[in-house]
């Protein structure tokens, strides 16, 4: 827009006088951002219609006319130094910065922002436009880590905080130290103290490896170690809301600082031993799962147990129980810890015992799978590689799927799917009957997507071709559509909901209680509970299959000309009195009231037949001839 056009516009609408500077910026060639249509460029101004002509490539709007008055509130005119503008002018330079200087690119984005400050969301939107939604996510994840170490950029502690381009650069260690002193939250103080201590050690090692004196960074932290230690000690003592895991983590960080100061940690309260002593078996498992999951800390808690329980029989018993309930990295750490202390036979004995008792949990099963070819653990793992392990894997996957409230994939299921040799390895000693039963378990399993199931079943079929008939029968059954009434569909849905929300959870509790009664081989309660579980899971699978194949009808499609779903048929049998039957949906059978499902043998014979036609049935050797005398619609008699 030129000055003349702006003057005319303001003369008509004096309220726009305050926006004159913005109107003047709306010149031909200027780049802009629209709240809804994204990045664009002003191509010209049509004075006759008083419209700016703008291209918005992101939303596919080309030569789009816009009222300048409307643009004052909806359009942001971008300065030449804006990254989106620079990408249009010099794309090679921006591409080079994306690859070679990501932190510098962020600084330039902040440089052009008001007050040199932007939120994470604002930066993400900018970089998404700059390099595309897919590419920027991975780039931004890496760049955020680099910004943490950049003294020129203030990184927000919270997601809703602001990134700030500093006028006076601050060293990362200074920023952490400042935050440590200002922060009164014990949890945050523990994490910050840990960062400061690790930073000090790294820089000290670096200085020593360079054969130089301590650099300024190390001196900066070293001079504050005593104060850091004193404040952390006070924070742990006074904290009331720390969990046992958080308290233990804090004690370990405090002890590291104490040793660095060359003081005796045994004189400090509370001690790490005092935390362990207050935990029962379940409490220890929970504690182990909540401490930082790094190898150093996981080994540290295991070593601590040997000091809390000096008797080898006791600490082995405690660690074995932790192994049974372990998750993630802790499983491998427990096994390694025991093996390194000559407990391989004990581990092998317990794993085999848990397998036979159907008590192997997902994390331990995963460890066995990953280490089945390991020479180091061969004496432990080799006795477990058989079809019973595959049964345990399928059971664990199904149990986790039934307990899960999310749609995320189950790690153990992914391992079974990704490892092409696992099923052949585990079925090496199995006969056809065992393989068939396991294939059926897989078909009923809730932990796999349909395509994954087919892929896994193909591995069974490759080893046992006869299993193909089992799979084909299931596919054929599932492909047939069922015509059902709304009321029968509602009843099936209620039954399925009851199985999932009431009966399966109750059965799980029954299995858990039965396990506590000891020897599972002679435990009739456990066997009955497991049989009930198999029945429930089979019924659940059948209901889900039926509901997926169902098509609701209100029976208005039926006619008086021929027998169909929704008709009433008057029949004269070859022997006996005349009878009237109503043919309804697949789940509507009520023989006492002469209502037949269209799936029954007699209905199947009658479907499509007309008045005067005769059909013959043979039900368990009883042959009968039926003649159709009359056909009417069931819905007509309900009016």
Inter-residue contact 362 to 411 (CB < 8 Å): yes
Q: pLDDT at residue 15 above 70?
A: yes
| pLDDT given for residue 406 in this prediction | 66
Contact present, 517 and 523 (Cβ < 8 Å): yes
Examine residue 254 and state whether it is found in any structural domain, yes or no. Answer: no
The larger pLDDT score, comparing residue 22 to residue 160, is at 22
- pLDDT attached to residue 491: 93
Say if CB 25 and CB 33 are below 8 A apart.
no
Residues 516, 572 within the same domain: no
Residues 542 and 587 in one domain: no
Name the band, by pLDDT with cuts 50, 70 and 90, for residue 218: low
Mean pLDDT score, 622-631: 88
Dihedral sign computed on CA atoms, order 117, 122, 127, 129: negative
| pLDDT above 60: residue 17 | yes
Q: Give the 3-state secondary structure of 407-443.
A: CCCCHHHHHHHHCCCHHHHHCCCCCHHHHHHHHHHHH
Is 263 among the domain residues?
no
Burial category of 276 from C-beta neighbours within 10 Å (exposed 0-12, middle 13-18, buried 19 and up): buried
**How far apart (Å, rounded) are the C-alpha atoms in residues 189 and 183?**
7
Output the pLDDT for position 623: 83
Phi, psi of 582 (to 5 degrees): -110, 125
Is residue 142, in this structure, part of any structural domain at all? yes
Instruction: List beta partners, residue 165.
Output: 153
Sheet holding 31-34, edge to edge: 61-66, 51-56, 38-46, 31-34, 75-77
Q: Domains in the chain: how many in total? A: 4
**Are residues 72 and 28 both part of a single domain?**
yes
Looking at the structure, do residues 92 and 73 belong to the same domain, yes or no? no
Averaged pLDDT, 186-208: 81
Q: Say yes or no to pLDDT of 478 above 60.
A: no
pLDDT band at 522 (very low <50, low <70, confident <90, very high): low
DSSP, collapsed to helix, strand or coil, labels residue 63 as strand
The structure's pTM equals 0.56
Query: Which of 37, 58, 77 finishes a domain?
Result: 77
Task: Classify 28 in phi/psi space as left (phi over 0), alpha (psi -120 to 50) or beta.
Answer: beta
In this prediction, residues 174-192 reach a mean pLDDT of 86
Contact criterion met (CB below 8 Å) for 247 and 272: no
**Any idea which of 50-59, 366-375, 426-435, 508-517 has the lowest mean pLDDT?**
508-517
**How do residues 568-615 score in pLDDT, each as one tens digit?**
999 988 777 889 999 999 999 998 889 999 998 889 999 999 999 998
The tokens for 328 are 């993630």
Average pLDDT over residues 479-506: 88
pLDDT category, 473, cuts 50, 70, 90?
A: low
Q: Summarize pLDDT for 237-250 with one digit per residue, the tens.
A: 888 889 999 999 99
For the ranges 37-41, 347-351, 424-428, 620-624, the maximum mean pLDDT occurs at 347-351
Assess whether pLDDT exceeds 80 at residue 30: yes
Helix axes 133-148, 120-131, angle to 10 degrees: 130
How far is CA 184 from each of CA 188, 257, 411, 549, rounded to the nearest angstrom?
A: 8, 19, 39, 60
List % helix, strand, coil for the chain (3-state, nearest 5).
60, 10, 25
Q: End-to-end alpha-carbon separation of the chain, Å?
A: 73
Q: How many whole angstroms separate alpha carbon 378 and alpha carbon 341?
A: 17
Average pLDDT value over all residues in the chain: 87
Is the separation of the CB atoms in 63 and 56 below 8 Å?
Answer: no
- pLDDT value at position 261? 82
Per residue in 268-314, pLDDT tens?
889 999 999 988 878 899 999 999 999 999 999 999 999 999 999 99
Measured distance CA(27)–CA(448) in Å, rounded: 59
Tokens of 266: 């045994």
Contact 96, 83 (CB under 8 A): no
According to the model, what pLDDT value does residue 204 have?
64
Whole-angstrom distance, CA of residue 441 vs CA of residue 453? 11
Tell me, what's the pLDDT at 477? Answer: 47
Within-domain flag for 320: no
In a domain, 260, yes or no: no
Find the CATH number of the domain harbouring 474: 1.10.287.180
Task: Over range 174-181, report the average pLDDT.
Answer: 81
Question: Do residues 69 and 99 share a domain?
Answer: no
* pLDDT exceeds 80 at position 345: yes
47 and 67: one domain? yes
- Span 367-389, average pLDDT: 94
Task: Please give the pLDDT value at position 476.
Answer: 43
Q: What pLDDT, on a 0 to 100 scale, did the predictor assign at position 409?
A: 82
Task: Clarify whether residues 65 and 88 are in a common domain.
Answer: no
For residues 388-417, one letter each, b for 16 or more C-beta atoms within 10 angstroms of the residue's C-beta and e for the rest, the string is: bbbbbbbbbbbbbebeeeeeeebebbebbb
The reply to whether 440 and 478 lie within a common domain is: yes
Where is 628: in which H helix or E strand? strand 622-633
How far apart are alpha carbons 65 and 84 in whole angstroms?
22
Same domain, 521 and 435: yes
- Do residues 63 and 107 share a domain? no
Evaluate whether 335 touches 376 at the Cβ level (below 8 Å).
no
Q: What is the pLDDT of residues 526-583, one digit of tens each?
A: 778 877 887 887 788 788 878 878 889 999 889 889 999 999 999 988 777 889 999 9
Write out pLDDT tens, residues 63-110.
999 998 888 888 999 999 899 999 999 999 999 999 999 999 999 999
Residues 109 and 124 sit within 8 Å (Cβ to Cβ): no
Provide, rounded to the nearest whole percent, the portion of the chain with pLDDT above 70: 92
Average pLDDT over residues 333-358: 95
Q: Which of 552, 579, 610 is the last residue of a domain?
A: 552
Tell whether the model's pLDDT for residue 631 goes beyond 60: yes
Q: Is residue 196 part of a domain?
A: no
Q: What is the CATH number of the domain that holds 581?
A: 3.10.50.30
Q: Is residue 44 part of a domain?
A: yes
98's torsion region: left (phi>0), alpha (psi -120 to 50) or beta?
alpha
pLDDT tens string 411-461: 999 999 999 999 999 998 888 888 888 998 898 888 898 889 989 999 999
Beta bridge partners of 154: 164
pLDDT of residue 610: 92
pLDDT band at 518 (very low <50, low <70, confident <90, very high): low
Q: Are 492 and 526 part of one and the same domain?
A: yes
Alpha helices in 480-593 (DSSP H): 486-498, 504-515, 524-549
Q: Are residues 129 and 36 in the same domain?
A: no
**What pLDDT sits at residue 9?**
87
For residue 519, the model assigns a pLDDT of 54
- Residue 224, pLDDT score: 82
User: Which residue, 60, 77, 94, sits at the end of a domain?
Assistant: 77
Q: How sure is the predictor about 58, in pLDDT bands with cuts at 50, 70 and 90?
A: confident
- Domain span at residue 478 reads 424-552
The reply to whether 494 falls in a domain is yes
């Amino acid at each position: 827009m030129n000055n003349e056009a702006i003057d005319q516009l303001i003369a008509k609408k004096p309220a726009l006088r305050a926006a004159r500077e913005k109107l003047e910026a709306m010149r031909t060639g200027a780049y802009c951002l629209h709240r809804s249509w994204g990045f664009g460029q002003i191509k010209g101004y049509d004075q006759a219609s008083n419209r700016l002509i703008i291209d918005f490539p992101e939303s596919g709007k080309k030569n789009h006319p816009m009222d300048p008055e409307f643009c004052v509130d909806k359009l942001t005119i971008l300065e030449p130094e804006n990254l989106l503008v620079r990408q249009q002018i010099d794309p090679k330079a921006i591409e080079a910065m994306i690859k070679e200087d990501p932190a510098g690119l962020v600084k330039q984005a902040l440089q052009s922002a008001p007050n040199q400050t932007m939120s994470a969301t604002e930066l993400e939107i900018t970089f998404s436009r700059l390099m595309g939604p897919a590419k920027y996510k991975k780039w931004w994840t890496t760049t955020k880590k680099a910004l943490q170490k950049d003294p020129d950029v203030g990184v927000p502690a919270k997601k809703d905080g602001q990134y700030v381009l500093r006028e006076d650069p601050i060293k990362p260690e200074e920023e952490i130290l400042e935050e440590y002193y200002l922060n009164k939250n014990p949890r945050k103080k523990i994490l910050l103290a840990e960062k400061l201590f690790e930073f000090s050690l790294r820089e000290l090692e670096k200085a020593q490896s360079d054969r130089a004196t301590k650099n300024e960074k190390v001196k900066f932290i070293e001079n504050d170690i005593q104060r850091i230690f004193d404040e952390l000690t006070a924070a742990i003592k006074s904290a009331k809301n720390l969990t046992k895991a958080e308290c233990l983590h804090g004690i370990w960080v405090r002890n590291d600082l104490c040793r660095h100061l060359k003081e005796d940690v045994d004189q400090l309260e509370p001690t790490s031993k005092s935390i362990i002593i207050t935990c029962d078996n379940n409490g220890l498992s929970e504690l182990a799962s909540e401490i930082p999951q790094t190898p150093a800390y996981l080994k540290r808690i295991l070593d601590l147990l040997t000091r809390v329980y000096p008797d080898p029989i006791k600490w082995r018993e405690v660690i074995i129980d932790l192994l049974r309930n372990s998750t993630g990295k802790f499983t491998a750490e427990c096994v390694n810890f025991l093996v390194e202390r000559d407990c391989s036979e004990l581990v092998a004995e317990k794993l085999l015992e848990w397998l036979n008792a159907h008590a192997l949990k997902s994390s331990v099963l995963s460890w066995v799978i990953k280490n089945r070819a390991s020479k180091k653990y061969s004496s432990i793992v080799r006795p477990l590689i058989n079809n019973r392990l595959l049964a345990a894997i399928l059971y664990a996957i199904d149990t986790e799927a039934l307990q899960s409230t999310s749609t995320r994939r189950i790690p153990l299921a992914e391992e079974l799917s990704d490892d092409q040799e696992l099923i052949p390895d585990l079925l090496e000693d199995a006969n056809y009957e065992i393989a068939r039963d396991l294939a059926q378990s897989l078909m009923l399993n809730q932990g796999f997507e349909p395509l994954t199931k087919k892929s896994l079943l193909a591995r069974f079929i490759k080893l046992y071709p006869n299993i193909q008939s089992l799979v084909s029968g299931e596919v054929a059954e599932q492909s047939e559509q069922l015509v059902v009434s709304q009321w029968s569909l509602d009843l099936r849905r209620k039954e399925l909901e009851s199985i999932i929300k009431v009966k399966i959870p109750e059965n799980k509790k029954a299995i858990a209680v039965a396990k506590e009664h000891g020897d599972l081989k002679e435990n009739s309660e456990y066997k009955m509970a497991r049989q009930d579980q198999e029945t429930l899971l089979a019924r659940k699978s059948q209901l889900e299959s039926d509901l997926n194949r169902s098509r609701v009808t209100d029976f208005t499609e039926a006619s008086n000309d021929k027998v169909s779903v929704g008709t009433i048929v008057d029949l004269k049998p070859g022997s006996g009195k005349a009878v009237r039957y109503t043919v309804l949906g697949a789940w509507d059978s009520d023989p006492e009231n002469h209502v037949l499902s269209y799936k029954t043998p007699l209905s199947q014979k009658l479907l499509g037949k007309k008045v005067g036609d005769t059909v013959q049935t043979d039900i368990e050797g009883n042959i009968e001839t039926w003649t159709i005398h009359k056909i009417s619609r069931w819905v007509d008699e309900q009016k």
